Structure formats: C-alpha cells, structure tokens
Chains A and B, each alone.
Chain A
Amino acid sequence: MSKRGWFPLLLMASLATVLCFLTLPIVAIFVDTSPLALLSSLHEEGALEALRLSIVCSAIAVVIIVLVGTPAAYLLASRRFRGRATLVTLIELPLVLPPAVAGIGLLAALGPNGLLGSRIEDAGINLVLTTAGVVVALTFVSAPFFLRQVQSAFEALDHTWLEASRTLGASESRTFLAVAIPTAGPGLISGLALAWGRALGEFGATLMFAGSFRGITQTVPLAIYQDFSTDFTGALSLSAVLVAVSVALLLSVKLLSGAEWLGGAAR
C-alpha cells in the first residue's frame, strides 16, 4: 500500500459522502424540472404572488434585523458586564427552537389572547394571519443568525482601531459608524446572507403564526407545501425557483463582501 496510509482516504471518503448527500436533492429538483415547466409555473397566479411575498417580507425582516441588530451586537461585542453570557444564550435560543414551537410562542406572546395581544390590538395592529405577521415570524427565526455572526465579527476587530478613532476626536457613535461598521463589513454581509437565507426558507413559524393564505401570508415554502399533494410538478418548479433565488442571493452577497471598498478586515 502507499505510504500515505488510510487516514487521508477516510477524510476524502467522508467529504465525498457529505457532498453527495447534501447536493443530491438540490440536483434532483433541477433534473426533474424542465426549464419550460419552470417558466410556466411562474405564470401561475399563486406562484408569482408567493414569490413576491417571500422576497418582500424577507427583505423587510432583514432590514429590521440589520437596523436593530447591528447596534445590539456591537454592545454585546464591545462591553463586558454581568449577565452578558446569559443574555447571549437567550438571544441564541431561537436557533435551536423547533419552528412549530416558535410559532406557538409567537401566538402566545402576540396572538389575540397572548401576553401582549390586547395591547397590540389597542394600538390598532393585527399580526395574526396577516402579512405583518409573516414579517414578525421571519424576523424572529432569522435574527439570531445575524446577531451571532455580527457579534463575532465585531469581537474580532482590532480594538486599537476603535481606540485610535476615539483619541482622534471621534465620539463613540462616530467610531461605530466610521470605523467599526466598515471594518466589520464582511462579517456584517455574511450575517445578512445567513439571516436572509433563513428567512426565505422559513416555514413552520409562519404557518403557525400567520397561516397560509394565498396573496396575504403564503410565502414560497408554504405554497410548495400546499401544492405538493395535488401538483407535484408545480411544487417542484416552485422549489427550483426558490433554490435559484437563494443561490443568487448567496452569490451576490459573497461577491459584494469580496469587493474592494470593503477591503477592511481582509488585511
């Protein structure tokens, strides 16, 4: 036998297994869908509506997550205080929560009979079974992905950059905007990609909290689920569309984070 031994072979074999198992279903979706079927499925009323809802709702959710989450992650990354570890764990909890449990939780908190239900109703807002409810569900499940990633990106920054900014007369807020965010750019972008990807694929919590009403709360994953018992081909082409959108998103984000203007942390 060769001098290399069995271990490198084992490593290669396991990588090959992982690769096959993880890509086979995705490949199958495209193999089973003819490009023609893909196009025609998009012409169906429900499909386009679902796609529009998915993109709009996930985009709104991501904007909310970035605007609120970035300063929160910065605080967690830049300060040491008592109870910080507990706080971080609480924020990461939705990561391990089964989607159905997330949906029930949202109902129990924000539903008509929920903890804050009456207050939200008084304010004239209705979340359950509405498009706004979809945004809430997407935000809930995908925010932790962004927070986690961005917190570690901020923690990885060279602290002297932030200190140098302060000694050059910049306030903490200007330091955050002019130094921390640009230098943590690649981390922010990849957090955004993770969160957006998660939001696009969200199913369980949306179904429980917002329901599945065509044109109002039925995002692409919900439409796929509804179609698949009656129109497998339609479900398949819709799946292909979702994969294509997700891949396009991931790629554009990767390209963007490699861009020169973000040169920051990539020293």
Chain B
Amino acid sequence: MLHVEVGTRLGAFALDVALEVPAGCCLALAGPSGAGKSSVLRVVAGLLTPESGRISCGEEVWLDTDRRVDLAPERRPCGYVFQDYALFPHLRAWQNVAYSIRDTSRRARRRRALELLERFGVAHLADVRPRTLSGGERQRVALARTVARRPAALLLDEPLAALDASTRASASRELNRVLNEAGVPALLVTHNFMEAALLGDRVGVIDAGRVIQQGTAAELAASPGSAFVADFTGAVVLTGTARGGEDGLTHVALDGGGALASTEQGEGPVAVSVYPSEIAIEPSGSPRTGSAQNRLEVEILSVTTIGNRVRLGLAAPQPFTAEITSASARELALTPGMRASATWKATSTRLVRQ
C-alpha cells in the first residue's frame, strides 16, 4: 500500500492531494498539463520536498514532515519511468539496465541486464546506445531498467506520450503486463483520459493541484462529478491522413492501420473524433448489413460495466473506446483479448486539422 498525503505551494496554486494505492493496483492521475500531476510523482520519489505531508510505502515511511523524516531519492525503492524515458545517453542499453544493479561482478550485472531485456523482447539491442533506439524500444529499455531495481512502487509519467500512435497500442499492452507482474502499487499520470482508462485500475481526475474525482474509469465516465470531469472524459480521438475521395467523402488512412470515411472535408494530417456511444460493435468478420460506412477490425482490451452500459477499451491498433448496452455486451460475450468489428456512420465522423 502506497500512502501519499502532501501539501505544498506550486507556482500559482497549491498542491494538496491524499492518495492510497493498494499493492497490485494502478492509480492513474489524469488532468490537463500544469495540473500538478508530475509534481505528485516527484514528491513521492523524493525529487521535490513538499512543505508538509506524509508518504509511506508498506511499513516504510519515506516522508513525514512532522517527524522530520525525508529519505533521499536513492533510499526510496520506487521505480520512476520518465516521460521521455531519460535513458543515459552515454551508456549502452544493457548498461542502462544494469545501472541499479550493484555489488556484483560486471559479468553478473550484464547477465542480469540481458535477462531483463529479454523479458521485454529487446535483448538484441543490448549493445546499442539510446539515441539510435525508436520510441517503443526506448520504453522497453526504460521499463527493464526500472524493474531491475525491484521497486516497491512504480511511478509512471506520461508513459505513452513520447510514442507515435502506431506503437501506442502495443506499448500500452506491454505496460499493462508490467503493472500486473510487478504486483506493487503503481501511480501513473497522463493528460489523456483514454490512456488513464486503459492503464489504470482506478482513475483520479486532477486539476489545479487537487484530485477532484476518483473512481474507476467507468464510474467517472458514467457519472462525472463536474463539467470539467465530463469534458475531460470526452470523445474518442484517432489520428490519420485525410484525402478527398471520388465518392464525395473524405477518406482517412489511420496511423498504424485502418481506414475511415467522413462527410466532413479535410486533407493531410487530421484528428478524427467520434463519441463512444455512436460506435456499434459486431462479431469479427460478420457481413456488412447496415448503412454505416466505417468498419474497423479491433482487439478488445478492456470491458467495463457502467450500470446498464458497457465501455469497451479497443485497439485498432490506435486505442479508443466504444460504449454499448450491457445487454449487447452479454449477447456478444465480449471479453478482453477478443477480436470484433467496430462500426459507425461517416456522418458522425468529425475531422479536425492537425
């Protein structure tokens, strides 16, 4: 159990949060940039000392301003995954991973680093320096480096932000696996609610230094406590490249695969937006019957019941969400890992130039 209770001035506002994250659970803090999300992680890691507060992980107290306890960052066993991964540029991938492995021979350190890289499927990159790695590869190396220390808690700062849309889906699956395997409390921050819903067991919406609502992603989407939360949990956004078609529709080739049509005009890089409730789900490979122009083959990542509705986390491979009735979800027997078709009308496909 990670217990965080801190208050401190932070520029224009005060950071004031109280959080509890049980072992094996991932709490995703979602909020706009400048909301103080990263500061929460920095405070927990000991990189920022708050004016007052108490932080404990299991039996260990990391910070207690009343009792003047303030452990240095290196004495808090937490794994921090930085937004741009912060791999050491002068070290090879395996040396990055071995950085936290001490008190053993160079050979033993290399062996252990290779084992970890192997677990993330990047052992072949062991002798490569970070600057030649792709975003997805960097993330894998960074995750291997983080778990090498066997952290008692995981802190993740915008773990998918540095990736392009096409690698995001596989990276988020990878992250989910790490979070499950680690079995420790995890605190993740993101400016993207969809990401929070995808990766977090629970989601806290944070704004101006305060957590305004906390619950499962389903609860937040179903009953937002404020307009801010409602707005924030918002619509699906996919990215792609638009081109005018002969049929008068605009055709969008999605980043990472798949194609959509829209009645709106657009050319070049665009963001496609659609509301989750406008998306229908059909069994994979079923013949096209209705009027809906758009049909994407998707993998179901998560199934979350919200009263009489079900919110589905999907990957096409870009992640997005759909909302259907619980009755349909039962009928189709939807479970994570299943493949399905997501369909919606070209008339409800909005385009925004990027």
Give me the interface of A with B, judged by CB distance under 8 Å. 158, 160-161, 163-172, 178-179, 182-183, 185, 261-265, 267
Contacts and interface: CB of A to CB of B under 8 A. Distances in A.
A167 B80 contact: yes
Nearest to B45: A167
B131 interface: yes
Given A167-B73, A167-B80, A161 B88 contact: yes
Contacts of B89: 161, 183, 263-265, 267
Interface in B60-112: 72-74, 76-80, 82-84, 86-90, 99-100, 102
A167 B79 contact: yes
Contacts of A178: 99
Given A167-B45, A167-B47, 17 more contacts: A163-B82, A166-B73, A166-B74, A167-B78, A168-B74, A169-B74, A169-B100, A169-B102, A170-B99, A171-B72, A179-B90, A182-B90, A183-B89, A261-B90, A263-B89, A264-B90, A267-B89
Contacts, number: 71
A170 B102 CA distance: 10
A92 B89 CA distance: 31
Contacts of A166: 45-47, 72-74
A81 to B, nearest CB: 15
B251 interface: no
A53 to B, nearest CB: 37
Contacts of B243: none
B311 interface: no
Interface residues of B, number: 27
B149 interface: yes
Contacts of A262: 90
Contacts of B145: 168
Interface in B133-159: 145, 149, 155
A257 to B, nearest CB: 13
Interface of B: 45-47, 72-74, 76-80, 82-84, 86-90, 99-100, 102, 129, 131, 145, 149, 155
B331 to A, nearest CB: 48
A263 B95 CA distance: 14
B142 to A, nearest CB: 9
8 contacts: A166-B47, A167-B45, A168-B74, A171-B74, A183-B88, A263-B129, A263-B131, A264-B90
Contacts of B76: 167
Contact of A163 (B47, B79, B87, B131): B47
A167 B77 CA distance: 8
B114 to A, nearest CB: 18
With most chain A CB atoms within 10 A of its CB, the pick from B73, B99, B100, B131 is: B73
A107 to B, nearest CB: 44
Nearest to A179: B88
A262 B89 CA distance: 10
With most chain B CB atoms within 10 A of its CB, the pick from A160, A171, A183 is: A160
With most chain A CB atoms within 10 A of its CB, the pick from B47, B80, B82, B89 is: B89
A262 B129 CA distance: 12
Contact of B88 (A164, A171, A172): A164
Contacts of B86: 158, 160-161, 163-164
B147 to A, nearest CB: 11
Contacts of B88: 161, 164-165, 179, 183
Contacts of A165: 88, 99
A178 B90 CA distance: 10
A160 B82 contact: yes
B348 to A, nearest CB: 41
Nearest to A260: B129
Contacts of A171: 72, 74
With most chain B CB atoms within 10 A of its CB, the pick from A163, A169, A262 is: A169
Contacts of A164: 80, 82, 86-88
Contacts of A170: 74, 99-100
Q: Which 8 A-B pairs have the closest CB atoms?
A: A166-B73, A160-B86, A164-B86, A167-B80, A168-B100, A264-B90, A182-B90, A169-B74
A161 B73 CA distance: 14
A213 to B, nearest CB: 46
B77 to A, nearest CB: 8
